[in-house]
Amino acid sequence: MMKSIYVGNLPFTATEDEVRGLFEAYGAVSSVKLISDRETGRPRGFGFVEMDDSEALQAISELNGRDMGGRTLRINEAQERAPRPQRARW
């Protein structure tokens, strides 16, 4: 079963290949998605990695708090996004 991992506080210069390389030390990486701002296209400093369950848990415990490009990574199991409240349209 695949687990989605949240990877936060990434350097804005980080690439998907660099993030993949970081996680591949713990097992096969199914996918890497770095999030960019919709309007500007600039990186937002976080993303998601998908890996097999057991490998993901080890990667989370080993990589959380590690330095990458001068920034301390925040890594944990991704949570479902809470629904956003609907705004009134006038």
* Per-residue pLDDT in tens (0 to 9) along the chain, 90 residues: 899 999 999 999 999 999 999 999 999 999 999 999 999 999 999 999 999 999 999 999 999 999 999 999 999 999 887 777 877 776
CA distance 43 to 9: 11
Model pLDDT, residue 90:
67
Record: fold of 2-73: Alpha-Beta Plaits (3.30.70)
Burial of 24 (0-12, 13-18, 19+ CB in 10 A): middle
Domain residue spans of the chain: 2-73
**Strand 29-36's sheet: what is its strand order?**
29-36, 43-52, 2-8, 74-77
* Chain position carrying tokens 């687990």: 3
Give me the half-sphere count of Cα atoms (radius 13 Å) on the Cβ side of residue 50: 6
Radius of gyration of the chain (CA): 14
Query: Whole-model pTM?
Result: 0.87
